[in-house]
Amino acid sequence: MSGKLIIVCAPSGAGKTTIVRHILENIPGIEFSVSATNRKQRPTEVNGLDYYFIDTDDFTIRIAKGDFLEWEEVYPGTFYGTLKNEIDRIWNRGNHVIFDVDVEGGLNIKRHFGSRAMLVFVQPPSLEVLKERLLQRATETQKDYDVRVSKARREMEYAQHADKILVNDQLDKAKKDAIAIVTEFLQS
């Protein structure tokens, strides 16, 4: 049966993107919902594959037009959102949708779709481990790193609102657990 949504959210650096990629590689019939953002494209990212990179003016116009299912100003001046037509595109192909989104965006999607959606919170073993992962990633300035860590502290409190909590302390185990959680949801 098509038409379900798997929402994977976590603080930045918890491993949600790695887990989402693993799910996509191992469970057929699921497609990735590409989020939109106005942030600068990183050198390894592909427009339309990793994100839809939209300038700030166009992003705010699309907000006003109601083009987004959900959107958030995740960091000051930096917006992320899910375009409604992205979900329609995937469902029209007969597939389930998987999201790799910010915690607040994930909660908004879950509220909108209710039991048709499952919210999985990827939790790092500790804030200290998360800090180390962000440092090793080396994609942020010190200021951006500090903002992400501060936000992560708050986001960890949202785990209680998830349908499932997936602790990512050992990546291979977390990947295996993610497959089991998603498979069970899709078969229910």
Return the HEC string of 44-96. CCCECCCEEECCHHHHHHHHHHCCEEEEEEEECCEEEEEEHHHHHHHHHCCCE
Residue with tokens 């930096």: 78
Instruction: For residue 75, give every residue at least 6 positions away whose Cβ sits within 8 Å of its Cβ, in sequence order, or none.
Output: 144, 147, 148, 151
What pLDDT is recorded for position 76? 87
Full pLDDT tens readout for the chain, 188 residues: 459 999 999 887 788 999 999 999 999 999 999 999 999 999 999 999 989 999 999 999 999 999 999 998 988 899 999 999 999 999 999 999 999 988 888 999 999 999 999 999 998 887 787 778 777 777 777 887 777 777 777 888 888 999 999 999 999 999 999 999 999 999 99
CA distance 55 to 58: 6
Pairing of strands 78-83, 36-37: antiparallel
Name which CATH class applies to 5-187.
alpha beta
CA distance 173 to 129: 17
Q: What is the pTM of this model?
A: 0.83
What pLDDT is recorded for position 2? 57
What pLDDT is recorded for position 147? 74
What pLDDT is recorded for position 129? 75
What pLDDT is recorded for position 1? 41
Instruction: Report the 3 state secondary structure along 117-129.
Output: EEEEEEECCCHHH
